[in-house]
Each structure stands twice: as structure tokens, then as C-alpha cells.
Amino acid sequence: MNISIQLATVDDVDDILRLIQGLADYEKLSHEVVATREKIIETLFGEKPFAECLLAKMDGQTVGFALFFHNYSTFLGQPGIYLEDLFVQPDFRGKGIGRKLLQSVAQIAGQRKCGRLEWAVLDWNQPAINFYDSLGATAMKQWFTYRLTGEALQKVGSQ
């Protein structure tokens, strides 16, 4: 079993979209996926990339991904990394692929002198919660995530 982690390139867009759909299926959110090949090319590989993506390959087959971007901690006075998505195809779980992806993002955070690495997990996703707990990650139970999208975002932005 040969597992490699590599930074995605524009040639990997179809694999990225396939993995995004796989994640959405797993999270029962397929109806929310509106990402297209063109959007991924523009936002990950265009003139101003907004995020980065690592791909996990096992024996040459793309089987997982970690998509992340920088944020900033005013309290630390340092950048951080927010892990938007971490996903391994179901048939390839339990082989250390998710761990290798997360370790790679953590290594990038260290190389870039980031003060922290953060992510969110759905409250029903007990396998992921157990995995994150096993790594020594801390659940931030005193914080709620808020989101503005669609009409609400446009309304607030136009006030």
C-alpha cells in the first residue's frame, strides 16, 4: 500500500469535484453542491487562489483530499489555517490516509508559522469526532458557527 500526499494542480480538478461530491453524499448534503469545474479552476488555481488542496493517492488512485485556507488570529498575532474539508473515500478509510492528510496540513501550518489549525465537524459524525479526539484536538464547545449565505448575505452587504 503506497500512500502519497501531493498538492493539487489544475489537472486534478475532476478528482477534486468527485471528492467534493463524495463528501457531500456522505454528509447528506448533495443538494447543496453547486461547485463547477470552472469555479474550482478560478478559485483554486486562478489569478488569486482562495484555498489550497492536498490530494491523497493510493497506488496512483486519488482517494482523499484536504482543502484549506489561511485565516488570522488577532489574539496570537499570527496566521492560522482553516481546514474546510477532509475526506477519504469510504472504501479507503482505516488505512491512515486521513491521518496523513491532516499531518500534511499540520506540517504546512508549522512551516508557515501558523498559530493554529482549526476545522468544524458535524455533531453526528462520531467516527470523525473520535479520530480528531485521538489526535489530541480540542472541541471548541463554547463557540457557535454562524453563516450568512444567499439573500441574507446580499441584504447585509447592501445595508
Strands ordered across the beta sheet of 78-88: 3-7, 52-58, 61-73, 78-88, 117-119
**pLDDT tops 90 at residue 139:** yes
Would you name the residues annotated as active-site residues? 132
Q: What single-letter amino acid sits at 81?
A: I
**CATH number for position 124:** 3.40.630.30
Containing 66, the helix (H) or strand (E) segment is strand 61-73
What confidence tens digit (pLDDT) does each residue in 26-41 have? Answer: 999 999 999 999 999 9
The count of domains in the chain is: 1
Contact of 107 with 74, CB cutoff 8 Å: no
Kindly report, residue by residue over 86-108, the tens digit of the pLDDT. 999 999 999 999 999 999 999 99
Q: How confident is the model at residue 19 (pLDDT cuts 50, 70, 90)?
A: very high
Domain of residue 141: give its range.
3-157
Distance separating alpha carbons of residues 117 and 102, to the nearest angstrom: 10
